[in-house]
Amino acid sequence: MPRIFITGSSDGLGFLAGKLLLEQGHSVVLHARNDTRAREVKARLPGCEAVVTGDVTTMAEMKSVADQVNALGSFDSVIHNVAIGAYEDRVMTADGITQIFAVNVVTPYVLTALIKQPKRLVYLSSDMHAGGSDEDLQDPQWEARPWNSSQAYSETKFHDLALSMHLGRRWPHVLVNALDPGWVPTRLGGRDAPGNVLEGATTQAWLAVSDEPSAMVSGFYFYHQKPQDFKRSASRPEVQERLVQYLERITHVRLL
C-alpha cells in the first residue's frame, strides 16, 4: 500500500488531498501546526495513519517534522503543500528569514533534504509564479526593496517551481513535479476565490500515486492534471543552482 506524507494538511487543499488518497485505499500521514490542530484533523480524518506536528516558521520545527516523518519509516510520495499567503507586513522569523519565504520555500527545501527520499515529490506552486521578479536572488528577504506582499508571494512560488525542476534534473530516479491548484476558496485563497478546491487537491493526489502515463513524468508543471506553460527561467540550471546554493547557505542543510 503506497504511503504518502502531506505537509500543511490540517485543512484546505492538503486535507482534501489526504481525504482523496485515503478513499483510494492509500496510507496517509498528515501534518498540523500544533497538537490542538493535530487532534482536530485526526478527528475529522480518523483513517489517517498519523499526524506529525510542527510550526514550520522555524528551522528547529522543520527539522522536528523531518525527524517525526523519518521515525515512521519510508514513504512512496511526499506532497509539499504547506504555504502561507501574502501578509500586510514583513514578518521575520526567529531565524531572521521573512515568514513567507521560510514557510513557502525553506520548508519544502529542508524537508526534501532531510526526509528519506521517496519515489515521488509534489510541490505546490501557483500561476502567480510568473510575477516573481527576483530570479537572481538580489534581495530575497526584502531588505532593500519596499515590502510588497503580493510580489513576495509570487517570488516564493517561482522558487518552488525552480526547486522542483532542479530536483527533477538532480534526481532522475524520482518523479518530481509542481502544480498550480488554482485560486481556490481555502484559508490561503480566501472565501471569495472562484476556483474549485477539489480539482486542485485531485491533481496533488493524482501526481502522488497515479500510474497513468501522463502522471509518470518528471520536471513538469501541472494545472488540473494537464501540463501547463510556465515562466521559462524556472527551468534554467543557473537559476536553480543559485537558489539551491542560497538555501544551503541560510539553512546549513544540503541536498544529497
Query: Hunting for cell 509539499 — which residue is that?
Result: 80
63 is catalytic: no
* pLDDT beneath 70: ranges in the chain: 183-197
Give the H/E segment covering residue 154.
Answer: helix 149-170
Amino acid at 178: A
Q: Find the farthest-apart pair of alpha carbons in the chain and give their distance in angstroms, rounded.
A: 50
Q: Is 157 in the active site?
A: yes
pLDDT digits (tens, 9 = 90+) for 215-231: 999 999 999 999 999 99
The three three-digit cell numbers of residue 148, written as one number: 510588497
- The backbone region for 177, taken as left when phi is positive above 0, alpha when psi lies in -120 to 50, beta otherwise, is beta
The reported pLDDT for the residue numbered 184 is: 46
Return the beta strands (E) in the chain as ranges. 3-6, 27-32, 50-53, 77-80, 120-124, 175-179, 220-223, 226-227
Query: pTM higher than 0.85 for the full model?
Result: yes
- Catalytic-role residue among 123, 157, 223, 231: 157
Query: What pLDDT score was predicted for residue 182?
Result: 80
Number of H helices, E strands in the chain: 8, 8
Domains of the chain: 3-251 (3.40.50.720)
* Options 109, 123, 153, 221, the catalytic residue: 153
